[in-house]
Homo-oligomer: A and B are copies of this chain.
Amino acid sequence: MDDTDKLHIVLCQTSHPGNIGATARAMKNMGFNQLRLVNPLEFPSDHADARASGADDILQQARVFKTLEDAIADCKWVVGTSARHRNLPQPLLTPEPMAQQCLEVVNQGQNVAIIFGHERNGLTNEELSKCHVHVTIPCNPNFSSLNLAAAVQVITYTCFLAFQDTSNTLPKQYIDYDSLASQYAMESFYDHLGQTLTAIHFLEPEFPKRIMPKLRRLFSRANIETTELNILRGILKAINRQFNNNH
């Protein structure tokens, strides 16, 4: 195993602390130890400890965040797990190619996050819009909602197999993850973009019409590089300069 501490499991809005404990156990079974929690309903918790069954160390070093943005700020590739068909899908992977790509990211020394949503509702469209790709676990189409920790078990098992495989084949699509903009930089860009689109009256904050989620989805899918982000920021500055000069 190599650099398993660069793979982060992120649970969003988890309502049952037992699932957090079971997730820690599933992760540790597969040799992963970096757990991040976004706004859990109850944590720390005796229920979590009980279900962890010896993975207490994962729970103790788990980091808790108020927002998903904060939790993935230092990650270069973000995977959202989704059972449902979405209106605005990102590229949709099965676990095996997703795990291969996680390995590529980690082998380049970069952080990857795999995020899991609320037990009943899954990831919200807003949460999914922050992901570069979506992964779906193939399953019975008539009964497709896996228990949260069971989904983590399948995903981390698949990652374990990929990380173990020493016969590393050439990736189908090479991405230089070091060159990618961090999620922190992307959030800053989205703020700037939203302000600019509002200033030129393209975006009306009262009637946003899903413009920003759609633009996020586009830019997430493109894996924006730092130099590209500089160009995009430069365009926004030029627009604002024009606007300010004339008002």
Residues of B within 8 A of A30 (CB): 139-140
Residues of B with C-beta under 8 A to A136: 170
Binary flags per residue of A172-193, CB closer than 8 Å to B gives 1, else 0: 1111100000000000000000
State which residues 155-175 of A face B: CB under 8 Å: 157, 160-161, 164, 169-170, 172-175
- Name which residue of chain B comes closest to A91, CB basis: B173
A97 touches B173 (CB 8 A): yes
Chain A, residues 130-160, CB within 8 Å of chain B (1/0): the string is 0000001111100111110110011001001
Q: Is the CB of A200 within 8 A of B239?
A: yes
Distance of A54 Cα from B54 Cα, bound (Å) = 29
A47 at interface by CB-CB < 8 Å: no
Interfacial residues of chain A within 10-37, with CB under 8 A of chain B in the complex: 22, 25-26, 28-31
Total interface residues on A, using CB and 8 Å?
Answer: 69
Any B CB within 8 A of the CB of A55: yes
Q: Which of A136, A150, A243 has the most CB of B within 10 A?
A: A150
Instruction: Tell me the A residues contacting B by CB distance below 8 Å.
Output: 22, 25-26, 28-31, 51, 53-55, 89, 91-94, 96-97, 136-140, 143-147, 149-150, 153-154, 157, 160-161, 164, 169-170, 172-176, 197, 200-202, 211, 214-215, 218-219, 221-224, 227-228, 231, 234-235, 238-239, 241-243, 245-247
Q: List 22 A-B contacts (CB under 8 A).
A: A22-B150, A25-B147, A25-B150, A29-B145, A29-B150, A53-B145, A89-B174, A89-B176, A97-B173, A139-B157, A140-B160, A153-B153, A154-B157, A200-B239, A202-B235, A202-B238, A211-B231, A215-B231, A219-B222, A221-B223, A239-B239, A242-B242
